[in-house]
Structure 1
Amino acid sequence: MSDMYKAPQAELTNGEEHGDFGSVEKGIAGDYSFSISETVSEGWRLSKGKKRTVWLGILLYVIALIAITVVAGFITGVFTAEGDASFTQELIYNLITTIIGFPLAAGMTMIGIKIARGEDTSGTEVLAYFDKIVPLVIVNFLMAIFIFIGLLLLVLPGIYLMVAYLFAIPLVVDQNLGPWQALEASRKAVTKRWFSFLGFLILLLLIGLAGFLAVLIGMIWALPLLFIAIGVAYRKVFGSPHRA
């Protein structure tokens, strides 16, 4: 639906003109440039005409999560237990809803990345990565375990990993890396400019908070900007699997 309003060629050449398409090899080596202000500014510019695409993805994401919640509730008996669901029922219910949410979240991330790269995409991208559910489950659980352990170890290692693993999930679905490869590629690349990425994420958090506080109306602009700005950052570091 949103594809009618874009100029594909102009966007496709944008990254080439600025020389900011990275690659896995360049990212790990730290051979990329990253500016917080430039990345957010480009995210804002690219969001013009693309808000509808992002918001359709968000809408489909929410609908899919609701559907999964309802189905999982009846399958596990949580919705029919009249408040007396067992621990096992609750555990299975939570596992199902969490696991199915992983590919949906990956799809939302990829919408922002594809917009940043000038590639064709739509809101239905959010439903496109269920074939990657196994590696996504593994990478998400590994992240959670390592970050939790890091937080137990004087907190700072956990904060370091929260930032360092920023690109692990898109590396699994976009670059087809294994879970451990994706975690290490993201960690090594982000570590080269860790404080810049920390500042970037803090700024995005503040933008999201400002949008929420603006009677929620600001979220119309804030959420597309957040997803696309992360996509721009990913493009600068890791580029596209179709490019050398």
Structure 2
Amino acid sequence: MSDIYNAPQAELAADEVNSANMGSIPKALAGDYQVNVGDTISEAWARTKGNKGTVWLGVLLYLVAYIGISVVATMITGQSITDPDANQGVGAIISNLIIVAASAPLGAGMMMIGVKIARDEQVSGTEVFAHFDKILPLAVCMILTYLLVTLGFILLVLPGIYLMVGYCMSIPLIVDKNMGPWQALETSRKAVTKHWFPVFGFLIVMLLLYVAGFLALLIGLIWAIPTLAIAYGVLYRNMFGGAESNPEV
């Protein structure tokens, strides 16, 4: 055979190797992934080059949209904008539910910015507005997470900590894998449970880096927030891989 056929074959072999090294739902559920905090943060830091603007645009759009949603929800439920402490009763509950439901896709979009950067996919800051078609399952997922984690904290605290960590990957599973709320929560919990303590350690390091950036006269957040957003995306990629159809869990 001519050498003209050798390059495509080599590229195909390389693609197969890269695909094999990617995470997937079956691999994640089997615990077939690694949580190396140092390597994850290092890769995320390297990937901030050329992507800080994308993350920060997403953050700014998220904040503007969240404030707008909060103001509208407060007004239509007859609550006070200037004195939030005076908001009580059914109106305050409805207002909070509207804010949770309407802002859930914004949070999913922020997470997916980090995920897509980690997977070398095209993404812009406007990703925060890309998932309003999933507003119902995302809102239900957030409400279930809040209720279950709160119940867990009431039951001797430790179950709440376990669930809070276990559910940390549920939101991107809904928009990236087209899962329902409960399926996403259980898939995240079952996968994280395989390496619960390393994931817990990863989240603690994320929190400490955020606090360090905040304490550095806020200037450190310029680098910390993009790094942390992408680090979350790297861990998600290592666990669940690329976008794919939803298999039964």
Report the TM-score, using the length of structure 2 for normalisation. Answer: 0.87
The 8 Å contact of residues 20 and 235 in structure 1, kept in 2 or not, is answered as no
- 2:219 pairs with 1:206: no
Which of 104, 114, 117 aligns to 2:116? It is: 114
Q: Which moved more, 1:218-227 or 1:89-98?
A: 89-98
Aligned to 1:148: 150
2:151 aligns to what SS in structure 1?
helix
The Cα RMSD (Å) is 2.3
Question: Structure 2: which 5+ runs fail to align?
Answer: 1-13
Q: Partners of 2:222 and 2:21 in 1: how far apart?
A: 28
Aligned to 2:89: 87
Number of aligned residues: 232
- 2:28 pairs with 1:27: yes
Aligned to 2:218: 216
Task: String of CA shifts for 1:12-49, please: whole Å, max 9, x gaps.
Answer: x9996595421111111111222111111111111111
Q: Partners of 1:15 and 1:108 in 2: how far apart?
A: 30
Q: Partners of 2:83 and 2:238 in 1: how far apart?
A: 51
Aligned to 2:61: 60
Cα distance, 1:183–1:70 mapped onto 2, change above 3 Å? same
Q: Which moved more, 1:75-84 or 1:42-51?
A: 75-84
Q: Partners of 1:156 and 1:148 in 2: how far apart?
A: 11
Cα distance, 1:17–1:150 mapped onto 2, change above 3 Å? same
Task: String of CA shifts for 1:27-76, please: whole Å, max 9, x gaps.
Answer: 11111222111111111111111000000000000110111122222222
Matched to 2:39, the amino acid is E
Aligned to 1:7: none
Larger Rg: 2
The 8 Å contact of residues 44 and 118 in structure 2, kept in 1 or not, is answered as yes
The 8 Å contact of residues 101 and 136 in structure 2, kept in 1 or not, is answered as no
Aligned to 1:157: 159
Question: Structure 1: which 5+ runs fail to align?
Answer: 1-12
Matched to 2:209, the amino acid is I
Matched to 2:148, the amino acid is F
